[in-house]
Amino acid sequence: MTNETMTEAQRRDRGLWYDANNDAELGEERSRADDACFLLNQTLPSDREGREKILRALLGQMGESVEILGPLYVDYGYNVSIGAGSFINHGAYLMDGAPIRIGEHVFIGPNFGAYTAQHPLTVEERNAGLERALPITIEDDVWIGGDVTVLPGVTVGRGTVIGAGSVVTRDVPAGVVAAGNPCRVLREITECDRPACEQGEE
């Protein structure tokens, strides 16, 4: 298969530049996801069974005991996987042109943005609707504070904490505290960070 014979969806899935805005197939897929998100966001929070049914139909994979507070927005849904025991607070937007993988026992604060899309820096190509999508991975046991943005191609390592308001522009290693715009590693997480240690308990 050559670049010329690939569909726009196939180009997208290979990380190539593709026409995101004018392709009918991709437009229909985004429309279906929009409808599902609208239905989810209009479903009573107390209707846990109904919400879970919508989410399992919308998302590519969702583990057990996952809690997602509305509103939630996605582009396609099927490129999102969320591991067991994870929690996503209100107002998340998962722009899943490429896969967004959220591990197990991940805590995500409100107004989280995971943006896989990149647009050309040159005006003509950007105005023509070209973009490409790079995957985002949030590994197990990560805690992400409120109002955090994660940009295309980023991996956040296992057990790391991302401070509120951060813009994560590059990979963050495992087991650290990182924060800022752009997000930078501040220090490692140590045994002295345990609540018992902070309180002077043995």
What single string gives the DSSP state of each residue in 14-78? Answer: TT--EESSS-HHHHHHHHHHHHHHHHHHHS-TT-HHHHHHHHHHHSSEE-TT-EEPSPEEESSST
* Rounded Cα distance, 151 and 118, in Å: 9
119 annotated active-site: yes
Residue 139 burial (CB count, 10 A)? 19
Q: Which one from 32, 90, 105, 119 is the annotated catalytic residue?
A: 119
* Rounded Cα distance, 118 and 122, in Å: 12
Residue 190 CA from chain centroid, whole number: 27
Contact 75, 33 (CB under 8 A): yes
Contact 106, 63 (CB under 8 A): no
**Active site residues per annotation:** 119
